[in-house]
């Protein structure tokens, strides 16, 4: 019994020591990675944007089904509605988009991914409401995960679509 208490005490001590040296940015990035619907090989912060943005890359093709598809002209086709259409494999002239609404963390995550030479690349845009967990990254003073604010979130998602289409066209050259 005493041995178990000592082991548990050591485990708690080790975990608390490890989290003390982790920055808010590292905690925030780790929480975002946990919510992504697929594994990401590499992820880096994109500076100079007005919203928290990450660029990511995978060595392989990520076949996770999208919620929507954006063609090179910016036309959006939604997949996850009442009729479940199975998308075909992604092509290099289309962007696959997934949207994650996290009520627990009061955030909306938009993942735009495109295909280059058989590898998946893309951007993760994070709309984070004010939070005690991540005070630096809470850019919104209203709850982005609340369905009453869907119109404002939709406007931001359209803006992200425009950025994604520009990125797609820029990478196609």
Q: Is residue 11 part of a domain?
A: no
Structural domains in the chain (count): 1
Q: Is residue 5 part of a domain?
A: no
Q: Is residue 152 part of a domain?
A: yes
Q: Is residue 16 part of a domain?
A: no
Do the Cβ atoms of 83 and 75 come closer than 8 Å? no
- pLDDT digit string, tens, across residues 151-163: 999 999 999 999 8
What range defines the domain where residue 84 resides?
Answer: 22-172
Q: Is residue 144 part of a domain?
A: yes
Q: Is residue 57 part of a domain?
A: yes
Does residue 4 have a pLDDT over 60? no
- pLDDT digit string, tens, across residues 11-23: 555 555 455 688 9
For residue 56, CA distances in Å to 38, 40, 53, 125 come to: 11, 7, 10, 11
Q: Is residue 6 part of a domain?
A: no
pLDDT above 90: percentage of residues in the chain: 54
CA–CA separation, 84 and 22 (whole Å):
41
* pTM of the entire predicted model: 0.81
């Amino acid at each position: 019994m005493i041995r178990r208490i000592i082991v548990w005490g050591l485990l708690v001590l080790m975990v608390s020591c490890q989290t003390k040296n982790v920055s808010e940015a590292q905690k925030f990035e780790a929480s975002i990675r946990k919510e992504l619907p697929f594994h990401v090989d590499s992820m880096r912060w994109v500076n100079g944007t007005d919203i928290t943005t990450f660029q990511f890359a995978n060595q392989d093709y990520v076949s996770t089904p999208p919620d929507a598809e954006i063609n090179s002209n910016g036309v959006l086709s939604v997949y996850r509605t009442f009729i479940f259409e199975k998308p075909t494999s992604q092509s290099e002239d289309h962007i696959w988009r997934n949207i994650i609404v996290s009520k627990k963390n009061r955030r909306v995550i938009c993942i735009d991914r495109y295909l280059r030479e058989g590898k998946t690349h893309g951007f993760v845009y994070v709309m984070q409401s004010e939070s005690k967990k991540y005070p630096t990254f809470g850019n919104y003073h209203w709850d982005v995960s609340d369905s009453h604010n869907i119109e404002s979130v939709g406007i931001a998602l359209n803006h992200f679509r425009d950025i994604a289409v520009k990125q797609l066209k820029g990478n196609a050259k």
